[in-house]
């Protein structure tokens, strides 16, 4: 029953993390509970342990300073980690983007 | 026939350069981890196919990569570097207390006896060790905790532990160096530490012969004479004959005694190499001439080695971990530049040629001599 109710969340990763995790442009994760930044990143790191520490700090789980979280044309980087993600992300219609902040000039 | 494998860390990836014992034709593989800063790549002296790499990025933080096949394939291992207990504070640039914050791994030093044991020197300065092939890392907290840590201060490049020298004849004896704190020694495998900076003088600190605060750039040792240490300090080339208990200057006739790397000939423990750099505010060779200087007398008397190196319009730097030697019968000497060249000499420095010319800025060079 649990699997039948698991939601499918899509996550898009930047190039270097795709290379590290050996995945394509987008990964799909199954979530049992609500879709929040915390639950999505927990699921991502559980499936791809090599990503631990690359998006969030190991100890504090704070977002690394030069990464951004986007979805539905909004910057969610400064949202609380337990704030529900937009319905379109939670339902798998729209992906959750992990984006490297722009560098250079 | 024996051969060599040169492990090159650059600002944009790692490269592996291999050749047979003649060292005339080279095969280049890479970039490995393209786009990432590779501060250091080093192989185990026990198992040359076991290689560790420090991979880091301002965006994604620190990774450690491990290869079990001589650098052909790699796997990420543990990247959790947490300071032991409450990290405490060191001095910030303005002299105020600043909390210790992990930034990156500068140097990986595999054990002389166990391929699964590796020491890692990190910024902010601390020493970590793994005993499970890099899966988990534990701080050897006695270094930061011995008492002088709150007085350490970062250099311009950050407060990094960049040099780790393991004494082959005294198990448990470790030398490390920190910019800008100085040199330290442990005789109990990293549990307890003390500063070993007597004899160093630094004009850029208020008390010029203070116990700590010196910007040591690099320390080198020949395994046959482990009590003799050579040091390239921010300014001054120094020597110790008593395992760091005291130091004396051996800059002698060098055109400038500022520089970063220092290394020792594989078979001649009194033959040493440095690359003089004009000054700490310029960071390029004097007169636009890239010259390695060699002393065959353990310092003081130096000769310029220029054959094959650019002698005009050269303004590259050679960073602290970017020089190494092989142990073939005719000792090979290697160094990399911030201009992306890796030069080698198969005759102990008499003649030089580039292996590669156009890599990203080279951060580190290590050499493995293969059977």
Q: What are the phi and psi torsion angles at B206 (to 5°)?
A: -60, -45
Who contacts B233 (Cβ-Cβ below 8 Å, separation ≥6)? Answer: B200, B202, B214, B215, B216, B217
Look at the domain B3-370 and name its fold: Methylamine Dehydrogenase; Chain H (2.130.10)
Q: Are B127 and B120 in contact (CB under 8 A)?
A: yes
- Of the candidates A50, A52, A64, the beta carbon closest to that of B59 is on A64
Inter-chain touch A67–B62, beta carbons under 8 Å: no
- Residue B204, pLDDT score: 87
pLDDT tens-digit profile of B110-152?
999 999 999 999 999 999 999 999 999 999 999 999 999 999 9
Q: Is B246 helix (H, G, I), strand (E, B) or coil?
A: coil
Inter-chain touch B58–A66, beta carbons under 8 Å: yes
What ipTM does this complex have? 0.90
Helices (H), B112-213: 142-145
Q: With cut-offs at 50, 70 and 90, classify the pLDDT of residue B2.
A: confident
Q: With cut-offs at 50, 70 and 90, classify the pLDDT of residue B165.
A: very high
Which pTM was predicted? 0.96
CB atoms within 10 A of CB A46: 11
- Residue A105, pLDDT score: 56
Inter-chain touch A64–B79, beta carbons under 8 Å: no
pLDDT tens-digit profile of B27-63?
999 999 999 999 999 999 999 999 999 999 999 999 9
Inter-chain touch B63–A54, beta carbons under 8 Å: yes
- Residue B241, pLDDT score: 98
Residue B143, CA distances (Å) to B80, B147, B175, B291 in order:
19, 8, 11, 36
Q: Are B91 and A64 in contact (CB under 8 A)?
A: no
- Residue B1, pLDDT score: 59
* A1 has pLDDT over 70: no
- Domains of chain A: residue spans and CATH: 2-100 (3.10.20.30)
- Compute the nearest-CA separation of A32 from chain B (Å): 28
Segment B248-254 mean pLDDT? 98
pLDDT tens-digit profile of A90-99?
999 999 999 9
Cα separation, B149 vs B166, whole angstroms:
22
* A2 has pLDDT over 50: no
Say yes or no: A67 contacts chain B, CB-CB below 8 A: yes
pLDDT mean across residues, chain B: 97
pLDDT-above-90 percentage for chain B: 96
Helices (H), chain B: 142-145
pLDDT tens-digit profile of B303-334?
999 999 999 999 999 999 999 999 999 999 99
Between A80-84, B156-160, B218-222, the lowest mean confidence (pLDDT) is in B156-160
Say yes or no: B76 contacts chain A, CB-CB below 8 A: yes
Domain locations in chain B as residue ranges = 3-370
- Of the candidates B58, B62, B76, the beta carbon closest to that of A50 is on B76
Say yes or no: A101 contacts chain B, CB-CB below 8 A: yes
Say yes or no: B58 contacts chain A, CB-CB below 8 A: yes
pLDDT tens-digit profile of B63-112?
999 999 999 999 999 999 999 998 899 999 888 999 999 999 999 999 99
pLDDT-above-70 percentage for chain A: 92
Q: Are B190 and B142 in contact (CB under 8 A)?
A: yes
Q: Are B187 and B176 in contact (CB under 8 A)?
A: no
Segment B236-250 mean pLDDT? 98
Say yes or no: A16 contacts chain B, CB-CB below 8 A: yes
Q: Is B156 helix (H, G, I), strand (E, B) or coil?
A: coil
* B279 has pLDDT over 90: yes
- Compute the nearest-CA separation of B146 from chain A (Å): 25
Q: Which of A17, A54, A57 is the best mutation test for B, with the most CBs of B within 10 A? A: A54
């Amino acid at each position: 029953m649990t699997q039948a109710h698991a939601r499918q969340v899509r996550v898009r990763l930047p190039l270097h993390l795709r290379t590290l995790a050996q995945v394509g442009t987008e990964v799909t994760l199954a979530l049992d509970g609500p879709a929040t930044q915390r639950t999505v990143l927990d699921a991502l790191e559980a499936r791809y342990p090599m990503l631990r520490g690359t998006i969030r700090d190991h100890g504090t789980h704070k977002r690394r300073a030069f990464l951004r979280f986007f979805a539905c044309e909004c910057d969610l980087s400064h949202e609380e980690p337990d704030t529900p993600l937009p319905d379109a992300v939670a339902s798998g219609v729209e992906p959750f983007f992990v984006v490297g902040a722009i560098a250079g000039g | 026939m024996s051969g060599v494998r040169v492990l090159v860390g650059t600002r944009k990836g790692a490269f592996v350069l291999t050749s047979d014992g003649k060292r005339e034709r080279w095969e280049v593989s890479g970039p490995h981890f393209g786009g990432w800063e590779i501060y250091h790549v080093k192989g185990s002296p026990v198992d040359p196919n076991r290689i560790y790499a420090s991979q880091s990025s301002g965006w994604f933080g620190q990774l450690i990569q491990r290869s079990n096949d001589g650098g052909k394939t790699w796997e990420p291992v543990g990247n959790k570097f947490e300071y032991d207990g409450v990290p405490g504070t060191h001095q910030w640039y303005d002299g105020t207390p600043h909390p210790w914050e992990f930034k990156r791994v500068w140097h990986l030093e595999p054990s002389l006896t166990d391929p699964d044991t590796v020491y890692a020197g990190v910024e902010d300065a601390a020493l970590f060790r793994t005993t499970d092939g890099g899966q988990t890392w534990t701080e050897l907290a006695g270094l930061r905790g011995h008492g002088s840590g709150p007085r350490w201060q970062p250099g311009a490049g950050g407060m990094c532990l960049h040099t780790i020298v393991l004494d082959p004849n005294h198990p448990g004896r470790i030398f490390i160096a920190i910019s800008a704190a100085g040199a330290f020694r442990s005789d109990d495998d990293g549990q307890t530490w003390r500063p070993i900076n007597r004899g160093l003088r630094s004009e850029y600190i208020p008390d010029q012969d203070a116990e700590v605060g010196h910007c040591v750039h690099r320390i080198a040792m020949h395994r046959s004479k482990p009590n003799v240490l050579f040091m390239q300090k921010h300014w001054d080339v120094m020597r110790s004959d008593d395992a760091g208990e005291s130091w004396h200057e051996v800059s002698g006739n060098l055109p400038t005694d500022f520089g970063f790397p220092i290394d020792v000939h594989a078979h001649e423990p009194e033959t040493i190499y440095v690359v003089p750099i004009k000054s700490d505010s310029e960071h390029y060779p004097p007169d636009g001439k890239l010259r390695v200087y060699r002393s065959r007398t353990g310092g003081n008397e130096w000769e310029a080695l220029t054959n094959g190196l650019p002698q005009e319009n050269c303004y590259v730097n050679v960073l602290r971990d970017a020089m190494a030697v092989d142990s073939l019968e005719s000792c090979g000497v290697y160094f990399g530049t911030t201009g992306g060249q890796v030069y080698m000499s198969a005759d102990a420095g008499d003649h030089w040629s580039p292996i590669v010319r156009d890599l990203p800025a080279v951060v580190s060079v290590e050499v493995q001599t293969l059977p």
